[in-house]
Structure 1
């Protein structure tokens, strides 16, 4: 497959127009770090897709279709490309492998549960399903909650909690319809579900930012506004403040640390 050429800046020859095929892997990562061009990322994915394929094949015949595993592995490869720092001196394959495997294992762990529930609840849910079959044969009737609780030496509340959580094992379609008694038209499941007001998050985030900004001095507030609201570069901010770019960079890190501390404080 021939990769289309794009206007890239070679790390050793700034401003020179090169085809992606002429760059080695390290140069490609350096260029991608500079401009985040999706064409460059796609080229990196193409070069290293074999890692996702090899790792995916290790999980064949484990209860999940290979194509699904391969898709997850490919996504893990993209995550690895986004996070890789070529300056650290690691081989990308050594960095990408644990990232991809981690994504695959997480997919296996969460597969089947449309909503993440505590592992103890998942395990108890499995025991309940087995116990139902055993008690059905022993009692010659459908076992009650108390029967299951006594058999598993659990409280009835724990059994009910696990049985309710088991309902998220198979997600329901939003197009599922219910008989709307007394009405000509059936009602759809999606009509019964509430919707999160997006303005809540906006207001909450805005209030947090305003509150955190009160902890900043005048210069820090200017750096914050120019960098993250006006989208100015560090060099532009440095020129307006008559300081070095390194000074702006340090201030930026200091501001972020203040925001982190304020966020932790509000979460307590």
Structure 2
């Protein structure tokens, strides 16, 4: 599972709050934060990594381009309860020499997941949102940065809920399913003949079911500039299309994260509630 994002997990961990209908907010806000999170080397890995990293706090309330808790979004189409945008996720690199299952294999590079997201809004009020998102993303790996290599696609239906409590607190959760292409699964779980060992046979993954997951987060505004957030995600890989891979070690896993951030700069230009409402801070 990509933590919404792993390479963009730092952005995904940034937080803010809802503004009332009468209030206008800066078009953009910039700051810095510190994030601590723990996640498996890759989904089904039996080794975890813990990171403590600085990250840029970015909020942008553009008419078509938006940035916030959901990462970077580009709105392509909007009509009533439906809209279509571009969403992004990603993953952090994995040094194969530090992972027992992958020792001697190529590293997993920094990657980007990018593609369209079709959203249906069951409930869409300033206080509460329930949305079905149908995400289709291409996996682009930085094998020779800054060039990106296509490594397959992922279909990721997602049901999201978000609730604002006044102007200081936000709770949210999501349920997800993931279905991947053959190339996508091979990127993480395939074993080429040159990497075969006595305990690691050659393996080619197939297209099919990837995983199911649930996540939750809580965010709070301490004052005008300081924000904190905590998040947890759990994924289940039982019956995954690649569960016979020699790199498949666990049927489930979890991500845990915490961050604190401070806004340093705000634009003098402000936007009204219509622009604010669609940014999940």
- TM-score bracket, normalised by the shorter chain, equals under 0.3
Q: Kindly name which structure, 1 or 2, has the bigger radius of gyration based on alpha carbons.
A: 1
**Which of the two has greater strand per residue?**
2
Instruction: Between the two structures, name the one with larger relative contact order (CA 8 Å, sep ≥ 6).
Output: 2
TM-score, normalised with respect to structure 2: 0.18
TM-score w.r.t. the length of structure 1 is 0.18
Q: Which has the higher helix share?
A: 1
